[in-house]
A and B are shown apart, each in its own frame.
Chain A
């Protein structure tokens, strides 16, 4: 089967099916009202205990706000109307499994039919609870069950399920549905768990005892492979493991080029739980904290206090390492139903990020205040996404000034922060020399910059090929931004995927990029590429690349840039 590979890597394991209902639809034997009633009560009790433990852990590790949605699920378990409906069906002759499935389906249908995007989305909590109750009734205890290493196969994964995963045992994730920018996928990326989404009909082909090979980079899944295929993938897996092991030497290294140019290697993260893996992989800080995830998936609009706690927690765990907090980048492909952005013909060109925030001052100022307050707990910087015009930057900065004045007058403690902007809109890139006079740093978001530069939606498979990081247009654009930054003494980072391509890193170093913010698992490989770069040599190749006309020519030109000892990620 082929799906969309979203996290690279190979895994070979027995599959563990996390399904929300008995898949063969068979009616389970009814054990009598008394026995079924006891099973039901015990299942509710166990479910509540599990959720309470998760809530406590989340409150400790990820902030109380993320725990809020789990508390909501606990309240659903305590909901008398909900529980009585199930109990009545059980008294009437239904097995616990059938009763739970019937009542949860009923609620899912009700939520699904409400004319409210947010409530429709919250169907996920019911599905989550149904899966949990059925898991317990079937003698399974959530993911703890996958006591053996396993590849998890599911229709989709809910926030609490992802929160429970043990990356040491979950070797891969296969989803029938799933979204590229969903919290589950982003977390899997951070944890380095290979993941494939969009595998329609997957669960129908699995019984739960199969060995599965998954290749996250190709998006392929092989069920019960033959001996030859298995051997081939085992070899590849060993090779990958060796390559990974050899990269471990780079974890503690302070990355600098052979000729001594220091390039910081940061990570892109979205939640507090990722700071542990970040530090273990040798990350030197956070070059991009995506705050959207605080707003979506786990919770509702987070309060100022909840955001303050979440940001401070991350800042504290990083010590003096920098933490660049990007203000809300809603819209585009990151849908947050309750914000009411509404449907748009072209979301990437629409009402997103700073455009939305400038229109919603109260919401924006809450976030700004939370960042300023959190700045007392670490090395915090603030960054605005999607700035296209100087007016937007001035308005955003004015709101920061207003917020500071308000905090001062209310006697709330805060610290000043450097203010930077994302360079991802071509209009801003062209004006980089002027923007440089009004901000403290730039961070180049190459994913969006490419799609806007080439006018090609990066989520549209038919045109996404246009968005090549190797195209001279993109190289020229990044080079111009770096030149403007250097000319004004500004630091400039790259926080898109182009920053982790080992063969491009010598060019970025030659341009004077001060930091590369990458996904956590690629940190060691990026450090290695930095250490193998010689900027004197790569500057010459850069000069040459800037004169080329196609992506292929650039690829040919940079092939040997690090003396031909490049390692693919």
Chain B
């Protein structure tokens, strides 16, 4: 199991287009991927959950990844967050 903090660094924080990218990225992996932001853990394969996490620029999500491809999933997610989801 991988437990990590991922910081949201794009100016606008998580919005619809970013939520599309995050949930689509998670759906590519069989591992269970959950995140919390001062809330109960939420399944990040759900685009609505990713929106509801309500993460703004500069805030970090606690992410838990568990499963056969957890390492690959972590690398992909980390890259997505570090690239600011392709935004500013």
Q: Name A's B-contacting residues (CB within 8 A).
A: 68-69, 71-72, 75-76, 78-82, 107, 110-111, 114-116, 118-119, 122, 125-126, 299-301, 303, 338, 362, 366
Tell which of A76, A110, A111, A338 has the most Cβ of chain B within 10 Å. Answer: A76
Contacts of A79 in B (CB 8 A): 23, 46-49
User: Does B52 interact with chain A (Cβ within 8 Å)?
Assistant: yes
With beta carbons under 8 angstroms apart, the residue of A72, A107, A114, A115 that contacts B17 is: A72
Binary contact readout B44-63 vs A (1 if CB under 8 angstroms, 0 otherwise): 01111101101010000000
Interface size bracket, B side:
20 to 34
- B52 x A110 contact (CB < 8 A): yes
Complex Cα–Cα for A114 and B38 (A): 13
A82: nearest residue on chain B (CB-CB)?
Answer: B48
- Nearest Cβ on chain B to A112's Cβ, whole angstroms: 11
Contacts of B20 in A (CB 8 A): 68, 71-72, 75
- Nearest Cβ on chain B to A19's Cβ, whole angstroms: 23
A118: nearest residue on chain B (CB-CB)?
Answer: B15
With beta carbons under 8 angstroms apart, the residue of B12, B47, B56, B87 that contacts A72 is: B47
- A76 x B47 contact (CB < 8 A): yes
- B16 x A81 contact (CB < 8 A): no
Complex Cα–Cα for A169 and B16 (A): 32
- B46 x A115 contact (CB < 8 A): no
Complex Cα–Cα for A260 and B27 (A): 66
- B12 x A300 contact (CB < 8 A): yes
Contacts of A110 in B (CB 8 A): 52
Beyond A116-B56, A301-B12, 8 extra complex contacts between A and B, CB < 8 Å: A72-B17, A79-B48, A79-B49, A107-B48, A122-B51, A126-B48, A299-B16, A300-B17
| A82 with B46, Cβ < 8 A, contacts A119-B54, A338-B12 known | yes
Which 7 pairs from chain A and chain B are nearest by CB?
A81-B46, A72-B16, A75-B47, A300-B15, A79-B46, A114-B54, A79-B47
- B23 x A75 contact (CB < 8 A): yes
- A80 x B45 contact (CB < 8 A): yes
Complex Cα–Cα for A254 and B47 (A): 52
- Nearest Cβ on chain A to B64's Cβ, whole angstroms: 16
- A111 x B52 contact (CB < 8 A): yes
Subset of 8 A-B contacts with CB under 8 Å? A69-B16, A79-B46, A80-B43, A81-B49, A114-B54, A118-B15, A301-B15, A338-B12
| A76 with B48, Cβ < 8 A, contacts A116-B54, A303-B87 known | yes
User: Does B24 interact with chain A (Cβ within 8 Å)?
Assistant: yes
Complex Cα–Cα for A301 and B52 (A): 19
A110: nearest residue on chain B (CB-CB)?
Answer: B52
Complex Cα–Cα for A115 and B38 (A): 13
Complex Cα–Cα for A71 and B12 (A): 19
Complex Cα–Cα for A81 and B27 (A): 12
- B46 x A68 contact (CB < 8 A): no
